[in-house]
Copies of this chain bind each other. A is one copy, B any other.
Amino acid sequence: MTTWAWGAAIDNGQEAPAILERARADVDPELRSAVDTLPPEMRRVARYHFGWQDADGLATTAHAGKAIRPALVLTAADALGGARARTAAVRAAAAVELVHNFTLLHDDVMDRDPTRRHRATAWAVFGDPDAILAGDALQALAFRLLAGDSHPAAVPALGRLASCVVELCEGQQIDTALERREPREVGLAEVLRMAEAKTGALLGCACAIGGLYAGGSADEVDALDLFGRQAGLAFQLIDDVIGIWGDPLHTGKPAGADLAARKKSLPVVAALTSGGSAADELAALYSGPYVEGELERTALAVERAGGRDWAQAEAADRMGDAVAELARAVPDPERGGGLLALAEFVTRRSN
């Protein structure tokens, strides 16, 4: 048995930001040199999307995202194979970040989201065709990076990443389909599958790729995938709770945003499918557009129908499963501490 326990990394509370910062510093040069091979117009869109320059092409210091996925690749490689494996995996970490950003570019087009990271989205600035094409090109760049990597893990990593892209598309497909359905026609199993495909799959794939670069066994790599996948689901559950009741650490979106947008998030669907009067009230509210001032009542209906408790219990269960998988892949808690710190960071258990 293992001495692993959820919360083991809590006394390393400051570890995750340092891991993320170091991953960003290591991966950025690889990422920038890949993007710089693009033809000028697509390079411009990609560099804008990454926050490296503004719409006119001037350098900016906009926030380029938290680099969680590259950090998972590098930290998993390190946990299983040490510093040399971590260094070998930098290119693969950049490939994972390219895939993540290709999906963001396309998701924003499909969802008609006007802003991301407090800036206008690429389609809003450059139009749909340029945003779609920049996304397509980033996907190709990710695979080209791996095809040009002579490490023996590169081809298995490539196959795994390609399968993950299909799963990411599946997640987004379910998401857009569910948005078009009546609130009460959406099942909890569907939204859980959507969250796993859209969020869990790439976090799991990132960890698995790190494991491949460390020369991990099939069992170890699969356990790392499940660790990332379950942590990703926990993250989505917590993120959805924050989308309704706000972020205790004041870093996320404003309280109620998801309710006003009538988003069929995990706590909402859990509430809608719970039966009882609070579920009926929520269904009635969700059947029409958002009316100014009804936020508190809607949030209360989700809470009374059990949506909040369910999401928090489910997130705890998923984190428990994640930690069990991590212990299977990396039995020494000392070596697995970085991955645990990242999982706790994304689920807002530490900052």
A residues bordering B, Cβ < 8 Å?
37-39, 41-42, 102-103, 106, 109-110, 128-130, 132-137, 139-141, 143-144, 147-148, 155-156, 158-159, 162-163, 165-167, 169-170, 172-174, 176-177
Contacts and interface: CB of A to CB of B under 8 A. Distances in A.
A218 to B, nearest CB: 16
Contact of A132 (B110, B130, B156, B165): B110
Contact of A136 (B134, B137, B169): B169
A166 B140 contact: yes
Contacts of A169: 39, 42, 133-134, 136-137, 140
Q: Which of A39, A132, A169 has the most CB of B within 10 A?
A: A169
From A110, A129, A134, A159, residue with most partner B Cβ within 10 Å: A129
A162 B133 contact: no
B162 A143 contact: yes
Contact of A165 (B129, B136, B166): B136
Contacts of A147: 155-156, 158-159, 162
B173 A42 contact: yes
Main secondary structure, interface of A, reads helix
A18 B41 CA distance: 41
Contact of A159 (B103, B144, B156): B144
16 contacts: A37-B166, A39-B170, A41-B170, A42-B166, A42-B169, A106-B132, A129-B173, A135-B136, A136-B139, A136-B165, A137-B169, A139-B139, A140-B169, A143-B143, A144-B158, A147-B159
A231 B173 CA distance: 38
Nearest to A180: B127
Contacts of A102: 136
Contacts of A39: 166-167, 169-170, 173
A139 B139 CA distance: 8
A136 to B, nearest CB: 5
Nearest to A133: B169
A137 B166 contact: yes
Nearest to A177: B41
A140 B177 CA distance: 21
Contact of A110 (B37, B128, B144, B177): B128
Nearest to A154: B155
Contacts of A41: 170, 173-174, 177
A140 B128 contact: no
A75 to B, nearest CB: 24
B144 A162 contact: yes
A127 to B, nearest CB: 8
A158 B149 CA distance: 12
